[in-house]
Amino acid sequence: MTRPAEPAAQPVLSSPHPPHLYPPYTSSVKRAPHELLLPVPDALRDHGGPVFGPSVLRPDDFDTTRNARVNGEPLGERITVRGRLLDSAGRPIRGALIETWQANAAGRYVHQHDRHDAPLDPNFTGTARLLTDDRGEYELVSIRPGAYPWGNHPNAWRPAHIHFSVFGTDFTQRVVSQMYFPGDPLLAHDPIYQGIPDEKGRARLISAFDLTLTQPGWALGYRFDIVLGGSAATPFEDPDHDD
């Protein structure tokens, strides 16, 4: 009697997203849930949120070099960041609201809990809001943020990064990620970046320098696409982790 073949082992799919608990990132030890996660009730998941449109934005909301200007230009290296927001099948997501926030060129946030002794910039808040167009594209004009100390471990410095928050059309639809810059030596020492288990996933958080996006004599250009799901998904984080 021929013995039936055993079923082939199913491959274990690794997630590109960082775990809730990653001990080298010391804040995650306190923030990580200690009980099993519960599914969101249908009543909340089906609750429609606001429909975003051009009327919710000011003309200069996408440009941090202008949207907080008081009496001069903000200090630092000007940059333009462009990219596409795509779904898991690579299709453009139109009319999505993206918010960004970041430190200034000296590595300091406009936030009451930021105790870094670097100077604040009176013409810069580091926040922007923008909508994707019909091709799923967005554009951010800003200042390249500086690195800053953050106390996670001895001599800990966070690499230069920009936070991206993408909103959907429902109450529960929001994802948060970070964009880094190519060639930053601090990436090798950063537990938030290194906490992403998939090497390819980590690479998707690094923007690409793009000479075609530079504005001659004014700003350097970078490209950063955001993919929501699928094998090429951009790693996302717990929205409460805002370092």
> Quick one: average pLDDT of 15-34?
71
Are 127 and 99 in contact by the 8 Å Cβ rule? The answer is: yes
Whether residue 163 lies in the annotated active site:
yes
20: pLDDT confidence band, cut at 50, 70 and 90? low
- Note the pLDDT of residue 52: 65
Candidates 17, 161, 204, 241; catalytic one? 161
pLDDT in tens, 80-95: 999 999 999 999 999 9
User: Beta strands 174-180 and 161-167: pairing type?
Assistant: antiparallel
Whether residue 116 lies in the annotated active site:
no
Compute the distance between CA of residue 133 and CA of residue 95 in angstroms, rounded to an integer: 6
Candidates 17, 78, 84, 158; catalytic one? 158
Whether residue 144 lies in the annotated active site:
no
Whether residue 193 lies in the annotated active site:
no
pLDDT in tens, 162-177: 999 998 876 567 889 9
pTM here is 0.84
DSSP letter string, 167-185: E-SBTT-EEEEEEE-TT-G
Candidates 78, 84, 108, 109; catalytic one? 109
- Note the pLDDT of residue 71: 93
Compute the distance between CA of residue 20 and CA of residue 196 in angstroms, rounded to an integer: 10
What is 50-227's CATH number?
2.60.130.10
Residue 85 is encoded by which pair of tokens? 């927001």
For residue 231, CA distances in Å to 113, 137, 188, 228 come to: 37, 20, 24, 10
The domain limits of the chain are 50-227
8: pLDDT confidence band, cut at 50, 70 and 90? very low
Share of the chain above pLDDT 90, in %: 65
Whether residue 161 lies in the annotated active site:
yes
Candidates 22, 25, 138, 148; catalytic one? 148
Report angle CA 185, 176, 46 to the nearest 5 degrees: 165
pLDDT in tens, 193-238: 999 988 999 999 999 999 999 999 999 999 999 999 898 999 987 6
Give the residue from 6, 12, 14 showing the smallest Cα distance to 199: 14
